[in-house]
Structure 1
C-alpha cells in the first residue's frame, strides 16, 4: 500500500503543477523561469504574425497622417484636415483606409504608355500637370468662324490700304 500511495502522491503532486502552468499560459502570465532564473521566451509563428500585423498598421497610420498633413486644403475631400487627423488617430485602421479610399484627391489617370516608352511626366517639379479639356464640335466650329472672320477682315484692311496708297500717289496729269 505504501507503494501505491507513493505513486499516487507523485501523480497528485505533478498534476497541480501541470494545471497551474496551463492556467498561467492561458491567462497570459510569464513563462516559468529557466534554471538560471531567466524566463523562457517562446517566439512562435503567431507572435511573428502579431508583430508583422502591428508593424503594417503602424506604417499605415504614419503614412496616412503624413499624407493628410502634407496635402493642401483643396486636395482634401469630405472633411476638413483636422477631422481627418483626429479620425486616423482615434480609429487608426478605419480612418486610414477611409482616408486613402475617399478622403484624398488622386491626380487624373493618363492613358497607358506604349511599350518601352519611359514613364516621365511632361511637367517638372511639384506642380499639377496641365489639364487638357476636350472641346465640343460647336466650340471648334465657332473658333473656325472667328478665324474666317479674322482673315476676311485682314483682307478688307489690306484692300483699303491699297486704295488709300493709290489715292495718295501723285497723279501725272497736270
Structure 2
C-alpha cells in the first residue's frame, strides 16, 4: 500500500511541474490554474487526465539527433565565418614572433630604466 501512495505522489509532482511550466498555448480544454487545482484535488485521476488530454505534445519536424540543440533551431544564429588561412610559411611566422619578443624585451628595458629614474638614452649601456 505505501508503494501505491509513493507512486501516486511521484506522478502528481511530475504532473504539477509539467502543468506549471507548460506555456498557456500548450494547455488544452481548461485553463492552466484549473488543471493544477484538479491535479492537487484528485492526484491520481487528475495526473492521468493531464497527461492524456490536458497537455499538447509537440510534433518533431526532424528526427532527434545528438549534439548542440541550437543546431536544430530554424532561426538560430548563423555559423561564425571560417578562420582565414595564414599564407606565411612557418619560418616567416617564427621570425615575426622573434621580432615581437625582441620588441617586448626592449620595451621592458625602457620601462625598467624609467622606473629607476634614468632616461632610456642615458646610463652605462648607452653608446657602447
TM-score (norm 1): 0.37
TM-score (norm 2): 0.50
Q: Larger Rg: 1 or 2?
A: 1
Q: Where is the helix percentage greater, Structure 1 or Structure 2?
A: 1
